[in-house]
Structure 1
Amino acid sequence: MTLRIGCIADDFTGGTDVAAAFRRAGLRTALVFGVPGDDAALPGDCDAAVVALKSRSTPAGEAVAESLATQKWLWSQGAAQVYFKYCSTFDSTPAGNIGPVTDALLDAAGAPLTLSCPASPPNGRTVYQGHLFVHDQPLDESPLRHHPLNPMTDASLPRLLSAQTEHRVGLVDWATVRRGVEAVREALLRFERDGVRHVIADALTDEDLAVLGAAALELPVVTGAAGLAEGLGHAYPSAGHAVADTPLPGGRAAVLAGSCSARTLEQIAHFHSAGLPALHLDVLAAAAGQDVASAALDWYEAQDRDVPVLVYASASPGELAAVQARLGVTEAAAQVEELLGTLAAELVRRGVRKLLVAGGETSGAVTSALGVRAVLVGDEADPGVPWTYTDGLALMLKSGNFGAPDLFVRALEDTTR
């Protein structure tokens, strides 16, 4: 096995997203959940290894410690380059965690600077003049301004990152990117001479990201979303064939959703409109001690075994605010994670073999509850949303904002045969 690149993702669906990007670039890719132990092994012959952490919203010191331990493990597996993957909407606060983690990885690698770009054009994320856009809206005017954990109130990436690091932040503008790989490399050399450590790059298209990936090929640490990771993957020498297509296993199919993003709410509404069975979980009742999980499992057992089901704790902004007002933000999130993790383990015990999970924190809770530590990455149902496989179980871990409105129905249709 020749591991070409290692990646640290700051949440579980982000790990799935970037693993799919490496696979599209022709790299055989494994996805590992949580900080690997010293004796951890990759599941098969891999060109890329992605380690998915739950470090996006943890205290900065904890995120740094976990990221450094993961970087060390990736080096032990042979990775010469480490990619730090964060959300394409730059989810973070002035306290971190993007800046502190990036600085720690650079310090450990002895690297003078890094290139950063969260653009993901297929998902409507682009960067122009250092400002991040979500489709046609600046980040701070998009639905992300209401994010329950990290509300994004500024679209300027240099300003956002400067609040998280004591080092200088520069920008490779779109005009430079359009001049090609050598122009970007020359700009990086100038920034290095000037003592700039973090270099944001504009990107409007996948072609721009391919240019940036080629320009960053020799950097020990690169950071960004899945788009830049794919551009970087394409810049590597041919890695052979990607993971062969894997048929979905037999057995029942289910969706567990905890994300409150606008896109996940659309996907839930589409599932309802398709006439498929869906159950909304009462988080306040669970917090009050009611056995909501057992009631949900009784409901599940009463459904047609040949039809996929949806169980969700997702809520509209108003409903979410009411729950958070009663429980607090942290306790509300913990209740959802515990409830959906418990249900995931019991559903798999009862025969579910295709499980689609919506939401980064939810995905972390589900994989932890199932004891899943590593998977191989397969086909995508939508950009950044692949099936993954382990021990007769197919998992799809979906970022809250990803996927078409019909994803839940389309991904699971005919899977129960």
Structure 2
Amino acid sequence: MLIGVIADDFTGASDIANTLTKGLPGEGGLLTAQYMGVPRGAAQSDVEAGVVALTSRSIPADDAVVQSLEALKWLLAQGCRQIVFKYCSTFDSTPDGNIGPVAEALAKRLGVKGVVVCPAFPGAGRTIYQGHLFVRDRLLSESGMEKHPLTPMTDPDIRRWLTRQTTEPVGLAAMETVGQGSDALREALAQAGERGETLVVTDAISNSDLEVIGAACADAPLITGGSGVALALPANFIRRGEARGTENSFAGIEGAEAILAGSCSGATRRQIEVHAKTHPTLAIDVDAVMSGALTGEQVLSFIEENSGRAPLAYSSGDPVAVAAAQEKYGREAVAARLDTLFGETARVLVDRGTRRLVIAGGETSGAVVQALGLGALRVGPEIDPGVPILTNAEGTLALALKSGNFGSENFLAKALDAMAGR
């Protein structure tokens, strides 16, 4: 294994696994596997990039550090030459963690400073300029992320946000440096390390900037960022003859299908609205779930009765309604009950023969994948930017784990068609 990734949620893991599998146009990517948590045994010998998916984004920072260091230990044991700490391209965190503490802990364990921090993903409209994160033409704090129910991002200045989370100085490699090319950026990162800056927020507004970052970090033991930061990393190994550059192939998996959505992002709510115009949908009312009036068996019955029609069950609501439910029952209680509902529903569906699953939302995806007890997943073709098809080792189950903000308006039906090879 050449590259090892520690991802702080399941959809983000799929996102960067997709990036590593694709690589740069014309050069190919790496044979990539995604693992649901830290594996107990060794990776298969042909895997060139391994992505360990954790559920560490919203847990206490100390616990996130412990989990991440455990993943690092396993990846190093597989021979990884480069580690990537992957977090969301909207830098989902709070002033108390978890991105800064985990990044610092990984850097300390690897003995490095001047480590890139770059959540940019231009293909999805996430860019960084002068250390400030934008979502398309809006600052992060004006993009809707300031209303996120778990990790409200109220400050777009990533350097300032990280300073609240970390113990050591945070640097900036601005566009003026990135625009001078990989040699200039490599030197700037080295100088930042000499100044004692462990983490360095690095500007990127286009894929060409990400290529500069990838070339500058060809020999870097540690990189942190969104999936975009990995865009050019496979090419470093391919050009040195250490990897062949793989081409993705996928024949498709037919069979019963289901869509489960727990994300409250604007993009997912719009996808639900579009899907509901032509497909059966079931709105999961939080009050009904918390009171026991709506059970998992009812959700299962709805999906199975509508098999073949791309049925969708969702708990996604507008931020005001979500906040009201959290205030009434408690944020953790609501999250735990919904996660259990979605996870158990997915497990029973697969046991009864469902072969294609689309899951929207990071926490929901984590709950589903853990309930299914899947091992290593192979990364198939991309459905939409940042969302690939994942298949189990037996090739009998196809999954799409979609971050809440990702995907085109017709993504839900489109994903099911892609899984069937259509």
The amino acid of 1:149's aligned partner reads: L
8 Å CA contact 2:21–2:248 kept in 1: the answer is no
Q: Which residues in structure 2 correspond to 1:93-132 (within 5 Å)? A: 93-132=94-133
Task: Report whether the alignment pairs 1:281 with 2:284.
Answer: yes
Match of 2:368 in 1: 366
SS in 2 for 1:196: coil
8 Å CA contact 1:282–1:292 kept in 2: the answer is no
Instruction: State the distance in 2 between where 1:20 and 1:140 align.
Output: 28
Match of 1:228 in 2: 229
Give 2:6's match in structure 1, choosing from 8, 12, 17: 8
Match of 1:292 in 2: 295
Instruction: State the distance in 2 between where 1:153 and 1:231 align.
Output: 31
Match of 1:384 in 2: 386
Match of 2:36 in 1: 33
SS in 2 for 1:295: helix
Match of 2:413 in 1: 409
The one-character-per-residue Cα deviations of 1:253-277 (angstroms, maximum 9, x if unpaired) are 111100101101011011012x111
Match of 1:330 in 2: 332
Match of 2:355 in 1: 353
8 Å CA contact 1:43–1:375 kept in 2: the answer is no
Deviates more, 1:131-140 or 1:312-321: 312-321
8 Å CA contact 1:106–1:113 kept in 2: the answer is no
8 Å CA contact 1:100–1:165 kept in 2: the answer is yes
8 Å CA contact 1:27–1:242 kept in 2: the answer is yes
SS in 2 for 1:334: helix
Give 1:246's match in structure 2, choosing from 247, 250, 255: 250
SS in 2 for 1:112: coil
SS in 2 for 1:179: coil
Task: Report whether the alignment pairs 1:256 with 2:269.
Answer: no
8 Å CA contact 1:243–1:377 kept in 2: the answer is no
Percent identity reads 46
SS in 2 for 1:88: coil
8 Å CA contact 2:389–2:419 kept in 1: the answer is no
Q: Which residues in structure 2 correspond to 1:56-135 (within 5 Å)? A: 56-135=57-136
Task: Report whether the alignment pairs 1:199 with 2:197.
Answer: no
8 Å CA contact 1:243–1:378 kept in 2: the answer is no
Instruction: State the distance in 1 between where 2:73 and 2:43 align.
Output: 15
Give the direction of change, closer, same or farther, for the CA distance of 1:339–1:171 in structure 2 (3 Å limit).
same
How far apart are residue 347 of structure 1 and its match?
Answer: 1.2
Match of 2:180 in 1: 179
8 Å CA contact 1:367–1:373 kept in 2: the answer is no
TM-score (normalizing by structure 1): 0.96
Instruction: State the distance in 2 between where 1:299 and 1:112 align.
Output: 53
Q: What stretches of structure 2 of length at least 5 have no aligned partner? A: 24-28
Give 1:265's match in structure 2, choosing from 266, 269, 274: 269
Instruction: State the distance in 2 between where 1:53 and 1:257 align.
Output: 19
Give 2:311's match in structure 1, choosing from 309, 312, 320: 309
8 Å CA contact 1:29–1:243 kept in 2: the answer is no
Task: Report whether the alignment pairs 1:394 with 2:395.
Answer: no
The one-character-per-residue Cα deviations of 1:128-159 (angstroms, maximum 9, x if unpaired) are 00000001000001110100001000000110
Give 2:17's match in structure 1, choosing from 16, 19, 40: 19
Match of 2:159 in 1: 158
8 Å CA contact 1:181–1:211 kept in 2: the answer is yes
SS in 1 for 2:238: coil
Instruction: State the distance in 2 between where 1:81 and 1:301 align.
Output: 45
The one-character-per-residue Cα deviations of 1:284-325 (angstroms, maximum 9, x if unpaired) are 22221335211112222322x322111111111222122112
Instruction: State the distance in 2 between where 1:296 and 1:195 align.
Output: 54
The amino acid of 2:83's aligned partner reads: V
The one-character-per-residue Cα deviations of 1:87-138 (angstroms, maximum 9, x if unpaired) are 0011111111011101111111111331110000000000000000001000
Give the direction of change, closer, same or farther, for the CA distance of 1:341–1:320 in structure 2 (3 Å limit).
same
Match of 1:341 in 2: 343
8 Å CA contact 2:84–2:222 kept in 1: the answer is yes
How far apart are residue 43 of structure 1 and its match?
Answer: 4.8
**Residues matched between the structures, number:** 411
Instruction: State the distance in 2 between where 1:402 and 1:50 align.
Output: 19
